Structure 1
Amino acid sequence: MGPRFRGGDEGKSVTVTAPTADLDRVIGFTIPSRHARGRVSRLGPVLDEILSAHAYPAPIETLLAEALTLTALLGATLKDAQGQMTLQAQSPGAIVSLLVCDYKNGELRGYVQFDAGRLAQLGKKPTLDALCKKGHLAITFDQATTKERYQGIVPLVAASIGAAAEEYFLQSEQIPTLVRIGTHRGKDGKLIAGGIFVQHLPEGEVGRERLHVRLDHPEWQHVEALSATMGADELAEPGIPLENLVWRLFNEEEEVRVLAGTALSRGCRCDSGYITEVLRKFAAEDRAEMADENGVISVDCAFCSKKFPVQLSDLVSQPL
């Protein structure tokens, strides 16, 4: 007997449908009998829009695509619509010195700082260790309503960004987690990235003991084994609806609850008004040093590569 797929937060039975090309969306699911939950996401046009703001070489595009997919998966777990999830990898002295992505209410943004000269000396598919040697990954959840902030930091010694996230949840929250991310570059040269994120509920749905106090747990081992069979080609295949991916993995479970999906978009929050207010906080002599010969301070947004020119006269004409 196959599972009962149920949709929506109220648990009402629905017919699950999705567009022909299922892109720029993330869905959630739970498996009550296994005390597991997860997210599945796939990025297409949104990913291309973010990447096209910079002339990244292929290895950097792939790394950022994987990081943005992970950001979508983790950010979608936020219950606070105005909350923000930030993923930041820092590797001083490495080829990739900084990678930053964040998620807020379905909006994604991200960028990478890297040494192009040293990157060119590597092969076409450099490892994460080669790019981010001796780096650290920080994952931060900011709750807007409660003002609470949670952050964990792990060394970037794993084989992939997804594996580093698994280590983060195991170390920071003692929650066994599986993350798989796949990318595919089409004939048009554009990347599509997809990912799955699955966790064992920390205490189950009825206050069960935490998993880390047990030597093993067959429920999680079962879900983990099934989830690990999902291939990178399936995750990054736009013609496969996300709901179908969940069905392929868990079609023999008693019940799978599919939650309402969230549309993803590019959401750089740079704003000329905000930049002006930040500049007003600097001392007048510091602002003068920032300005060019025409009295203009040019501020670049690292995320979208837009330039925001601000006249010194606009800063001094209003009270600080």
Structure 2
Amino acid sequence: MKTARSTYEIPETYSDKLLGFTLPGRSARGRGVRLDGVVNDVLSAHDYPPPITHLLGEALVLGALMGSLLKDEGGQLTMQAQTQAGVVSLLVCDYRAGSMRGYVDFDEDGLAGLGANPGLLALFGEGYLAITFETGAGQRYQGIVPLEGDTLAEACETYFSQSEQVPTLIRVASRSGAEGRVAAGLLVQHLPDGEEGRERLHVRMDHPDWEHVLALASTISHEELLDTELSMEAIAWRLFSEEEEIRVEPGAPLARGCRCSGDYYASVIARFPIEEQRAMQDESGKIVVDCAFCSREFAIEL
């Protein structure tokens, strides 16, 4: 049996920090994350019922995993799940340089009739998932896929398969306890022609190297992902212990970060004609803006 060789030399990664790793011998890369403080900070701004906290926790993990694929530190990943006829009408989550935020719009009465653990179809009905990557240089590209599968993670796998043609496995776990919610995830991808922008002429979902990596990565358990005493490096080493080399690179620390401010909203409102601005005013003459991400209100005076 081969012993995995790692490039890792600094303290290991546990919660609220990303981990990146590559398997050079298999042309594969991965990302791992466990959210503890971050997910509870985001949820603290809302009084969501358990099914919605579970959904948003999963979305935040997916946002971190996919957002960390951006090489540009100024880039942003936005994930939006939407439907016209579901109990959940809109879910939005974004990631930028380790800063995360998210919120969910839903029908409380409709949710109450779904039971304790509703699936994706019950929550959204026939909806779609839009994933948008923006670089710091202003480049923007988006993929849209149907909201299919039992979980958001499965819908994201479909996005990578259909929109990016990149074989991808994603696993997400989430639980609530006395100290709040913990959510964690693993993303593994096969890049046959490398990660440096070369044209992928030979992407195969059934490539032998990918089948090998997929078989190993699929053994990850929810208990391992959620074990706050198990580092993300230890998870990577457990899964791929027979590989000749595992290159591990700790990523960005994560934190809740809403970018709302009174000055920002005032600048947005100033772009409207004065007649429309006056129509927005309340009885006191102020324009009140409610930030859906952090549940704060900003009173703007003309």
Aligned to 1:310, the other structure's residue is in SS state strand
Say if 2:236 is the partner of 1:246: yes
Q: Map Cα deviations across residues 140-193 of structure 1 (whole Å, 9 max, x no partner).
A: 100112x211110100011111111111011011111000000121223x1100
Distance 1:3 1:119, change over 3 A: same
Q: Distance in 2 between matches of 1:292 and 1:67?
A: 35
Q: CA deviation at 1:260?
A: 2.6
Amino acid at match of 2:5: R
Q: Are 2:148 and 2:154, in contact at CA under 8 Å, matched by a contact in 1? A: no
Partner of 2:6: 5
Which residue is 2:43 aligned to?
A: 51
Structure 1 residue 132 corresponds to structure 2 residue 124: yes
**Deviation per CA, 1:273-293, whole angstroms, max 9, x where unpaired?**
110011111122222221111
Cα distance in structure 1, aligned partners of 2:205 and 2:250: 35
Tell me which residue corresponds to 1:279: 269
Post-superposition CA distance 1:176-230 (Å, at most 9, x none): 1000000121223x11000000000141479696444x57211100101111110
Instruction: Provide runs of 4+ in structure 1 moved above 2 Å.
Output: 16-19, 204-212
Equivalence for 2:222 = 232
Alignment pair present for 1:221 and 2:211: yes
Write the distance in 2 (CA, Å) between the matches of 1:99 and 1:195: 19
For 2:140, the equivalent position in structure 1 comes to 149
Structure 1 residue 17 displacement after superposition: 2.7
Tell me, in whole angstroms, the C-alpha distance in 2 between the residues paired with 1:202 and 1:34: 8
Q: Secondary structure at the match of 2:7?
A: strand
Please point out which of 188, 192, 196 is paired with 2:182.
Answer: 192
For the 8 Å contact 2:54–2:175, the answer to whether it is kept is: no
Instruction: Answer yes or no: is 1:18 the counterpart of 2:9.
Output: no
Please give the secondary structure, in 2, of the residue aligned with 1:74. helix
| Contact 1:184–1:233, Cα closer than 8 Å, also in 2 | no
Could you state the TM-score of these two structures normalised by the residue count of structure 1? 0.90
> What do residues 261-314 of structure 1 show as CA deviations (whole Å, max 9, x unaligned)?
2100011000111100111111222222211111111101000011111112xx
Q: Which residue of 2 aligns with 1:73?
A: 65
Deviation at 1:52, TM superposition (A): 1.0
Stretches of structure 2 lacking an aligned partner (at least 5 in a row): none
**Structure 1: runs of 5 or more not aligned:** 8-13, 313-320
Structure 1's 178 and 211: CA in aligned 2 closer, same or farther, altered over 3 A?
farther
Q: Is the 8 A contact 2:83 2:89 kept in 1?
A: yes
Q: Which residues in structure 2 correspond to 1:245-264 (within 5 Å)?
A: 245-264=235-254
User: Would you say the 8 A contact 1:183–1:233 is kept in 2?
Assistant: no
Q: Residue 183 of structure 1 is aligned with which of 174, 186, 189?
A: 174
Which one has a bigger Cα radius of gyration? Answer: 1
- Aligned equivalent of 1:99: 91
Rounded Cα–Cα distance in structure 2 between residues aligned with 1:70 and 1:113: 18
AA partner of residue 129 (structure 1): L
Q: What is the aligned-residue identity percentage? A: 49
CA distance in 2, matches of 1:29, 1:217: 20
Alignment deviations for residues 39-96 of structure 1 (CA, whole Å, 9 cap, x no partner): 0001011100101101100000000100100000010111111110100001112101
Q: Corresponding residue for 1:172?
A: 163
